[in-house]
A and B are shown apart, each in its own frame.
Chain A
Amino acid sequence: MYLYSEFDTAFLAERNAQFRAQVERRIDGSLTEDEFKPLRLMNGLYLQLHAYMLRVAIPYGTLSSAQMRQLALLAEKWDKGYGHFTTRQNIQYNWPKLRDVPDMLDALAKVGLHAIQTSGNTIRNVTADHFAGATADEVADPRPYAELLRQWSTDHPEFQFMPRKFKIAITGAEADRAVIKAHDIGLQLVERDGVLGAKVLVGGGLGRTPMLGKVLNEFVAFDDLLAYLEAAVSVWNQLGRRDNKFKSRIKITVHELGIEEIRARTEARFAEIRPEFRGADMELLERIKAQFAPPAFRDGSTAGFESAYSNDPVFRSWIDTNIAPHKRADHAIVTVSLKAHGATPGDATAEQMRLLADLAERYGHDELRISHEQNVILPHVHKSDLPAVHAALKEHGLATANIGLISDIIACPGMDYCALATARSIPVAQQIATRFDELKLEHDIGHLKIKISGCINACGHHHVGHIGILGLDRAGVENYQITLGGDGTETAALGQRTGPGFAYDQIVPAIERLVYAYLDLREGPEETFLQTYRRLGMAPFKSALYDEEARADAA
């Protein structure tokens, strides 16, 4: 885990003191809202439908137990006893009062957390594979580089007033769990001739104009990478469409100029600035790396685990869905579902956060991760501890065995909270999860990712859901469009629209028809929804969605 240096601590204290004074001046009337708004947004404070919202960055999704406890404290002391984990590895508090926010930021600073650049036209929280450092399939742990990027991008003077926001995701593995192709820049660590570097993707993004990232460079060695990224961002910073918000993201610039032109300009700029990078970044990276050294893994028998697995069907089911292979055979990566059937995806109560912190401390080398899929991960658990971890989770409503299944839904806050939303998404997720739990079909259906956004900005990643749902306002009524075949992994694809949308009370039955069609069409239980869709295409699903609806209307 990265520990703040004196510089980091002093920087944050000063920044928080500035914001405290700005809040005071807003309250006493010396600042108008127009003057205050950009200042509060720079510090992660939004005003939403019903209240302020504070968005706190969880850098590359990594938390210590002390940090998780502090997040719980904030939830309890200044919010309504819970927090909402987002698709960008942030946590959002939905009910802070303006006067309390400076105290909240001071409390966060005590454990090395902040809300800087969680809004605004800056480089946002750098996200990473939530299995980083634990998974067997990575070239290297991407988090030291992510931390270097966090330090580089925080308050970077050139990148504070960009055409639009800018999102970077990084993974160390070929298997993409960080959706790198849907980011402004996606980085995949690769090794070439013994030298560590990254494949650089550019111009991915969802939202109004969804696009998958294109390869800007197959390999940039770590020595060159920071200068190369600075070059790429600066090229867009000059060219990006500040005149039109809908065309301002780098994906449009790449699309309009072509990847070759962007590459040529990046190379030219890189040649100009590379000499200014004299190796301080690499020295810093080495120091950061030392702080991400693997924990002292424990040897020990896994017999207790094997016997619990054979004897306890509930435990077995949870292991089969929620556990991923660790780089050490006697350890496991545990994904704790924040998607109990009928609950709000990504919400955790203060009590649940404290339990997770305790479990991390006792069984997990003090580490926690937040995934972009809005779940919590204990990345390093010895298998012999899994029965105890499971028992503790069960007591706190955290043992739902549904990772990767139909009820493990990503949903943005939607019109229940967000001022930009055009429809609700949370209740749609709740109803789908509840319905398929009633049908007891979830495990039979198998791997299926549903992702729901409450507006075209696509915070719920609907374009890359196997089934995507987009909530819109159609003539003053909530209406939900369905897309099929999206995929956010290394085989990334954008979903295709099925046709006309469905009313709020018709969307769950529509999803049910789709799923029954899949169960009829699949070649066997091992063929996933996405595979069936790829084999057969849209037609049979469209027919299930609309022909049956037409028959029902006629009857």
Chain B
Amino acid sequence: MPRAYTPKIVTANDLLEGDVIYLTADDRWSRRMAEAELITDEAHAQLRLLDAERQTDRVVGAYLADAQAGESGPEPTHFREDFRRRGPSNYRHGKQETAPQPRA
């Protein structure tokens, strides 16, 4: 039996700010992982990644990251993605200092 597909989100960095961003189901880029489109189908994930990679004048380094459904939207399954969505642990910088708002 084929292994179940691990759900994915599309994430990247904002071209101008460098900030971590997520592709939403309605084709926006959000700074909040909870707003990301949680993709459960492998073929659809590849298409969404292509959509993201085409936007070379807005985003950098788009890739598919593992995620899982949480109470208020997708959540990370690995600590690296957890740090990316939160920001550094030595200062409250990055996403920790400003109210989340959509970018790009």
Residue ranges of A at the interface with B (Cβ–Cβ < 8 Å): 26-29, 32-33, 47-52, 80, 94-99, 344, 415-417, 424, 426-427, 430, 473, 476-478
Contact = CB atoms under 8 A, between A and B. Distances in A.
A94 B60 CA distance: 17
Chain B at the A interface: SS class: loop
10 closest A-B pairs by beta carbon, nearest first, are A51-B18, A416-B88, A29-B57, A52-B18, A50-B94, A344-B90, A426-B90, A32-B56, A98-B16, A33-B60
Contacts of A51: 13, 17-19, 94
B48 to A, nearest CB: 18
Contacts of A33: 56, 60-61
Contacts of A94: 88, 93
A97 B94 CA distance: 12
Interface in B84-104: 84, 87-91, 93-95
B84 to A, nearest CB: 6
B20 interface: yes
Given A33-B56, A33-B61, A98 B15 contact: yes
Given A47-B60, A50-B84, A98-B16, 19 more contacts: A28-B57, A33-B56, A33-B61, A47-B18, A47-B61, A49-B20, A50-B18, A50-B19, A50-B88, A51-B18, A94-B88, A97-B17, A98-B15, A415-B80, A416-B88, A424-B83, A426-B89, A430-B90, A478-B79
A416 to B, nearest CB: 4
A206 B19 CA distance: 31
Contact of A47 (B13, B80, B95): B13
B44 interface: no
A416 B89 contact: yes
Given A27-B16, A50-B20, A98-B15, A477 B90 contact: no
B56 A416 contact: no
Contact of A99 (B16, B83, B89, B95): B16
B89 A424 contact: yes
Nearest to B80: A415
B78 interface: yes
B18 A415 contact: no
12 contacts: A47-B60, A50-B18, A50-B19, A50-B95, A51-B17, A51-B18, A51-B94, A96-B18, A97-B18, A430-B90, A473-B79, A476-B79
Contacts of B60: 33, 47
A280 to B, nearest CB: 43
Contacts of A415: 79-80, 83
Nearest to B58: A29
Nearest to B20: A50
A276 to B, nearest CB: 43
Nearest to B57: A29
Contact of B89 (A47, A95, A96, A427): A427
Interface of B: 13, 15-20, 56-57, 60-61, 77-80, 83-84, 87-91, 93-95
B53 to A, nearest CB: 9
A22 B26 CA distance: 32
Nearest to A342: B90
Contacts of B77: 476
B72 to A, nearest CB: 22
B84 A49 contact: yes
B18 A80 contact: no
B15 to A, nearest CB: 7
B93 A95 contact: yes
Nearest to A32: B56
A96 B79 CA distance: 25
Given A415-B80, A476-B79, A27 B56 contact: no
Contacts of A430: 90
B15 A27 contact: yes
Interface core residue of B61, B88, B89, B91 (most chain A CB under 10 Å): B88
Contacts of B19: 50-51
A279 B13 CA distance: 50
Nearest to A100: B16
B56 to A, nearest CB: 5
A503 to B, nearest CB: 12
Contacts of B18: 47-48, 50-52, 95-98
Contact of A27 (B57, B83, B90, B91): B57
Given A32-B56, A477-B79, A427 B90 contact: yes
A33 B91 CA distance: 29
Contacts of A95: 18, 93-94
A28 B56 CA distance: 10
B78 to A, nearest CB: 5
Nearest to A99: B16
Contacts of B79: 415, 473, 476-478
Contacts of B84: 49-50
Nearest to B59: A33
A80 B96 CA distance: 13
Nearest to B96: A50
A95 B93 CA distance: 9
